Structure formats: structure tokens, C-alpha cells
Amino acid sequence: MDINVLFAFSLTLLAGLATGIGSVLAFFTSTTNTKFLSLALGFSAGVMIYVSMIEIFVKAQNALVSELGSPAGNWITVISFFAGMLLIALIDKLIPKQNNPHELRKVEDMKDRPGLTSDDPGLMKMGIFSALAIGIHNFPEGIATFASALQDPTLGISIAVAIAIHNVPEGIAVSVPVYYATGSKRKAFKLSFLSGLSEPLGALVAYLVLLPYLTDLVFGIIFAAVAGIMVFISLDELLPAAKKYDEAHKSIYGLIAGMTVMAVSLLLFM
């Protein structure tokens, strides 16, 4: 297997396994660090928005215009961008709100629930559905990370880091209800860990299905869709979650910091 492909797989795997970090954090903390969470989610959104609009969209546009000419290439870029948004919006729509992993939960929220018992089937169901929902969400994110890293390793690293940050609270969303339903940290961690594996699974599908057909035209369409997916995730999930736990505008500071880091890194590796 080509070294670039292995590198892209490795980045995708690391991003997906960040759900396990969230799971571990949930076990060893009695309260949620809302300041850090707000800052980190804002930072992740800043990275995603900046890299999507400044780098990924432009790369897609250049590839498509080069292949199809100016009017057609620009139109296909915009259509693919919004198609990516539509795809992730449909996925969100199909997942019930109470089982959506992006409906963030604090560790202490579970402890404060009245009538909570260690064999609560509702909590177990919540954890399982959250794990499935994360798996569905992470699949296209895995394709995005893999395709980006394959085309531009530096860009792939940035996207992988941003996705890893936003996977941490998703790990909490799975592990906390499962832990309080079963009393088993091992079961909670295992379910959270497995939910993150859909990220490298998306990369594997991209490798087996898309790679043989990855012409400049296909690459341009995929990249434009990836930009749309990442902007939607940032605006619909990361920023609202960051604002939910916001204190003294930390989410916005995190957003600006994420954009700044992404801008500087792109300039340094031009």
C-alpha cells in the first residue's frame, strides 16, 4: 500500500478514536470543564470553517474549472458544496433529537437525574442510539479526512485535528449513559470506541470505491462536498454546542484562534 494512503488512513483512525478520549474523560471527572469544552469546540469550528472556505472550496473550484471550463466548473463546485450540506442535514434529520450525539450532555447531568438506577434501560438505549448516530455521522467525516490527506497531507492533518476535537464530546455522549445504565466502564468505553471506528471505515470505503476513479473531476466534486459538510457541522453542531457552554465569549475566542492557527499553518506550508 502506498505510503500516502497509509498516512491518510492513520490520520482518519486517530480522528475517529478521539471518541475514546471523551469516554475516558467522562470516567475520571466529576464535572464537565465547560470553559475548556466551549473553547475547544469553538477552535474546531474555526479550523473547519476557515479551511473549508479558504482552501478546500478553492481547490475544488480550480480542479473543476480546469476540467469543465469556467461557467460549468463554477456551477458544479457550488452545487456540490450545497449537496454536501444537504447530505449531512438529512443524516441529522433522520436521527431523533434525544439520541443525537450533538445534543451535548454533561457528566453531572446524568448524576442529577431523579430516580436514576444502575439498570436503567432508557439510559442504555440512549447510549446505544448515540453510538449508532455517531457512527453514521463519522462515516462521511472519514471520507473527508481520507480524501483531504491523500490530496494534501498538511490539509489532512488540520482536518483530522479539528474532527478529533469535536469527537471528544461525542465520546462523552455515548459513554456517560451506558456507564450509568450498566455500571461498567469497560462496556461504556467499548461502545464509545467502536462508534469512532466508522471514521476509518469511511476511509476504507473511499479507498476501495473512490480511489480507482479519483480523477480531477471526481476529486473536485468530492472536495466541494467535503467543504459543505464541514461548514454545516461547524454552524449546526460545533458553534451552538460551544455557545451552550460559553463563558465570557470563550467560544468566539476559540473560533478566532482556530482560524488563526489554520491560516498561519497554510501560509507556512505553501
Binding-site annotation: residue ranges for Zn(2+): 141, 166, 170
Give the residue from 20, 75, 262, 248 showing the smallest Cα distance to 154.
Answer: 262
Distance CA 122, CA 192 (A): 17
Give the residue from 152, 234, 197, 265 showing the smallest Cα distance to 15.
Answer: 197
Residue numbers belonging to the annotated binding site for Fe(2+): 138, 141, 167, 170, 199
150 with 1: CB under 8 angstroms? no
- What's 237's DSSP letter? I
Residue numbers belonging to the annotated binding site: 138, 141, 166-167, 170, 199
**Residue 107 CA neighbour count, 13 Å, CB half:** 18
Cα-based torsion angle of the residue sequence 21, 25, 195, 163 in order, rounded to the nearest 10 degrees: -50
Distance CA 101, CA 92 (A): 10
Copy the grid coordinates of residue 102.
Answer: 450533538
4 with 156: CB under 8 angstroms? no
Locus of grid cell 464535572: 31
12 with 200: CB under 8 angstroms? yes
Distance CA 266, CA 54 (A): 10
Distance CA 5, CA 181 (A): 40
